[in-house]
Structure 1
Amino acid sequence: MSDTVEFDLDAYLGRIGWEGERVADVATLRAVHLAHARAIPFENLDAVNGTAPSLELGDLLDKLVRGRRGGYCYEQNTLLLHALEALGFGVTRLSARVQVGADGLESRPRTHMTLLVEVAGETRPYLADVGFGAVGALLEPVPLVAGEEFEGAGRRHRLVRVSHRGPLDLWVLEAFEQGLAWEGGWRRQYAFTLDPGEKPDFEVFNWFVATHPRSPFTQRLYVQRMRGDQHVLLSGRELTVTSPDGTVSKREVSEEEVSRLLDEEFGIDVPQSHQKDHAG
């Protein structure tokens, strides 16, 4: 399918369960972002089965909106981009280097997709991201302001500017994690500049991440969602539940339970062609 398909805003808003006034203001941006993050699960079923998921609008609508599926960053944030544009926001794609578990700021390629959102009447844009597969992910967008702490739906974030060798400012999104005393509670999530990306760039990134044998998304099943104020993650056959106070519970699950969890816990219908041992 091609992006000549018209975006179905009614179907999208129905999928995320949002019924607010359709105005392009900060309140709408925050509410739609949070509703999307809570409604559509993060999942890599296509990649773990050796297929790069389509980023064409019609396919995204069929899979994430009309279908009982989720997706990872390229799918989730491309869908959000179309929704925000339909609501009247200005949106720019940005690429980022994931910092969770990284050895340094430039030790990984720019394979994450995030969004910069312009709001009419606001002097600063917002960082929006419903596709970061980690417990430190944004639930609500944050203003592009250095050094200030922002709370959104129970999670705390801040953006910092750090020195690097490039000509553009390097921004780092940090999340506050309970019990992370040796880093003052703050952990880097990803680093980015404001160099705009385009759809063809992310089609290349998407293909690489979904098919390269060393990509973590080709190695094991990775599914997450919010359950109330808890973050629920299924990584391979390990189920992890993280509470707002930082309490973590983990347990191993069987392959039969993986199938049940995908259906009942995460709200995902596994396509017939994908029904095999995904756990890795």
Structure 2
Amino acid sequence: MFDVERYLARIGCAGDTGVDIATLRKLHRNHLMAIPYNGATQDFRDGVRLVDVDEDATFETCVVRGRGGTCFQLNRLFHRLLTELGYDVTLLAASTAEGWEASGLDVEHMFNRVALDGAEWLVDVGYPGPSYVEPLRVGDQVQSQYGCQYRLIDRGSRTALQRRGRITRWSVVYTFTPQARQWSDWKEMEEFLAREIAADTGPQDGTKILCGRTSGNGQAVLKGRRYLTVRDGREEARTITEDAEHERLVAHLLSDEFH
């Protein structure tokens, strides 16, 4: 059963019920550190459900049991948490370059926007990374977090969220519009994923793994066999060839012992 107090305790924010930017920053950062991105929690054996989600069951799996989840699970739960705490939250949709090429849909990714004290903030606890660890203020300014920089670039009908590390160039995290969304907008994504799953006959060799975690000074992402770490803005990527090491990395990223 969804429970605000239990949720806050699980992410190390017991008693943090204020509606202010300092609390929002802590909720966001702590959520990313406590709850991993874990694509394996998407169980599609009984069909793809992104719209009619059992939030109580999802809360038990993703938060209470600490298994984590994807944007469709984590950002949906965080949306509910913030709403129940009294924040003004709007649901948004985005698409990465890779996701757009694969599906042609602009609802590949689900995240949130919070209106607070005359400003708007992007809030996203369901992206595998690397991405922003604390809320990003909507505006023209370059914003720095943990050695990385972020900016929002106008691309006509869409806005591009860009990121760069200490020695890397600007790259796009995802693009989005300010249009407020409803859960039902993801029905098209449900249908796309259902078709993809039905057509997938490839081997389960670890290449489809996607998980990510935030630490005190950066993030780590395992996408297939590629392992990327960002520490104080410095990036390091390598390919994992040994199955045993791959399994250890997955377990470590999803463990409460990750740091």
User: In the alignment, is the contact (CA less than 8 A) between 1:96 and 1:112 conserved in 2?
Assistant: yes
Name 1:234's counterpart in structure 2: 222
**Conserved in 1, the CA contact under 8 Å of 2:146 and 2:233?**
no
Alignment of 1:10-25 (within 5 A): 10-19=5-14, 21-25=16-20
**Cα distance per residue 1:51-73 (max 9 Å; x no partner):** 64663211221111111301111
Q: How big is the shift at 1:221?
A: 0.8
Of 49, 73, 76 in structure 2, the residue corresponding to residue 75 of structure 1 is 73
Alpha-carbon distance, 1:101 to partner: 8.6
1:68 alignment partner, SS class: coil
Q: Against the structure 1 CA distance between its residues 71 and 220, is the aligned structure 2 distance closer, same or farther, given a 3 Å change threshold? A: same
Identity of aligned residues (%): 25
In the alignment, which residue of structure 2 is the partner of 1:89?
87
**Deviation at 1:107?**
6.0
Mapping of residues 154-193 of structure 1, within 5 Å: 154-164=147-157, 170-180=158-168, 185-193=169-177
Which residue in the other structure is 2:64 paired with? 66
Displacement after TM superposition at 1:151 (Å): 2.1
- Give, in whole Å, the separation in 2 of the partners of 1:17 and 1:233: 22
Contact 2:38 2:254 in 1 (8 A): no
Unaligned runs of 5+ residues in structure 2 are none
Query: Match for 2:178 among 167, 171, 194?
Result: 194
- Matched residue pairs, number? 246
Call closer, same or farther: CA 1:186–1:237 in 2, change over 3 Å: closer
**Using the alignment, how far apart are the partners of 2:9 and 2:89 within structure 1?**
22
Residue in 2 that maps onto 1:35 = 30
Deviations 1:79-131 (A, max 9, x none): 1101111211011111112136977xx96533111211122xx1122111111
Q: Which of residues 235, 251, 257 in structure 2 aligns to 1:263?
A: 251
Shift of the alpha carbon at 1:202? 2.8
User: 1:202/1:53 Cα in 2 relative to 1: closer, same or farther (>3 Å)?
Assistant: same
| Inter-CA distance 98–231: structure 2 relative to 1 (3 Å threshold) | same
SS of aligned partner of 1:173: strand
Deviation at 1:36, TM superposition (A): 0.6
**Superposed displacement of residue 239, structure 1:** 3.0
User: What SS class does the counterpart of residue 127 from structure 1 fall into?
Assistant: strand
Instruction: Provide TM-score, normalisation by structure 2.
Output: 0.81
* Aligned twin of 1:246: 234
| Distance of aligned partners of 1:57 and 1:239 in 2 relative to their CA distance in 1, 3 Å threshold | same
Instruction: Please name the residue that 2:133 is paired with.
Output: 139
Cα RMSD between the aligned structures?
2.9
- One-letter code aligned to 2:60: D
Q: 1:11 to 1:203 in 2, by over 3 A?
A: farther
Partner of 2:108: 111
Q: Which runs of 4+ in 1 moved over 6 A?
A: 100-103
The aligned amino acid for 2:178 is L
Secondary structure class of the residue paired with 1:110: coil
Q: Which sections of structure 1, spanning at least 5 residues, go unmatched?
A: 165-169, 269-280
Deviations 1:11-49 (A, max 9, x none): 111111123531111111111011111111111114487
